[in-house]
């Protein structure tokens, strides 16, 4: 299923029965972290995986010259990774979350498949400050 908010998720699980819903596909990227407020915790409580679509912001990935982009580049350089690998690692830092980046160029596929790193608390805090969660709002639908 896709774009279910927390209440809709509860309703769907009630209708379908426990263990019948595999995942909830929702918009999630560094500039749009709204699902962290309610959707991710509810999915975890209902044992439903979270599938993050548009994890690079649909072409709006932070430029290396931006404040946030610099933070990603610094962490990437220190870890021998790319900025996008760091972004994917941040987004999938909880076991319940998967990401489905879209890539049509083979080198982009290789980059994205390069492996999610386990970020440490300091790295997570730096990314969190550079791309703040923001207040809870209605679920964005792209
Ligand atoms: N369930 C839903 O309601 C819903 C809604 C929207 C999207 N989706 C799904 O979510 C997935 C991703 O969506 P999206 O297209 O919005 O955006 P996205 O994954 O955030 O970004 C895709 C863009 O990033 C580029 N890119 C990917 N990897 C890169 C890399 N390593 N280096 C540089 N550029 C890179 C791609 O370029 P290239 O293509 O040139 O490689 C493409 O321009 C798709 O599978 C889509 O079907 C689902």
What is the CA(15)–ligand 1 centre distance, in A?
32
Q: Is the CB of 57 under 6 A from ligand 1?
A: yes
**Does 73 score more than 90 pLDDT?**
yes
CA of 50 to the centre of ligand 1 (A): 17
**For the segment 36-63, what is each residue's pLDDT rounded down to a tens digit?**
999 999 999 999 999 999 999 998 999 9
pLDDT band at residue 137, thresholds of 50, 70 and 90?
A: confident
**pTM of the complete model:** 0.95
- List of domains in the chain: 6-130 (3.20.20.100)
Q: Which residue CA neighbors atom 48 of ligand 1 most closely?
A: 53
* Ligand 1 proximity of 60 Cβ (cutoff 6 Å): no
DSSP-assigned states of every residue in the chain? -BS--HHHHHHHHHHH-TT---EEEEE-BTTB-GGGTTHHHHHHHTT-EEEEESTTTTT-PPPTTSHHHHHHHHHHHHHT--HHHHHHHHHT-STTEEEE----SHHHHHHHTT------HHHHHHHHHHS---S--PPP--
Question: What average pLDDT does the structure give for the chain?
Answer: 96
Q: What is the structure's pLDDT at 142?
A: 78
């Amino acid at each position: 299923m896709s774009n279910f908010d927390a209440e809709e998720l509860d309703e769907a699980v009630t209708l379908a029965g426990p263990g019948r819903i595999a995942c909830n596909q929702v918009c999630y990227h560094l500039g749009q972290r709204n699902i962290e407020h309610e959707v991710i915790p509810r999915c975890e409580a209902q044992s439903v995986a979270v599938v993050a679509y548009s994890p690079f912001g649909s072409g709006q990935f932070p430029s290396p010259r931006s404040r946030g982009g610099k933070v990603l580049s610094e962490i990437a350089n220190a870890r021998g990774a790319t900025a996008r690998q760091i972004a994917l690692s941040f987004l999938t830092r909880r076991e319940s979350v998967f990401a489905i980046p879209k890539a049509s160029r083979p080198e982009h596929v290789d980059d994205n498949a390069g492996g999610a790193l386990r970020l440490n608390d300091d790295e997570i805090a730096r990314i969190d400050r550079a791309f703040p969660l923001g207040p809870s709002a209605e679920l964005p639908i792209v």
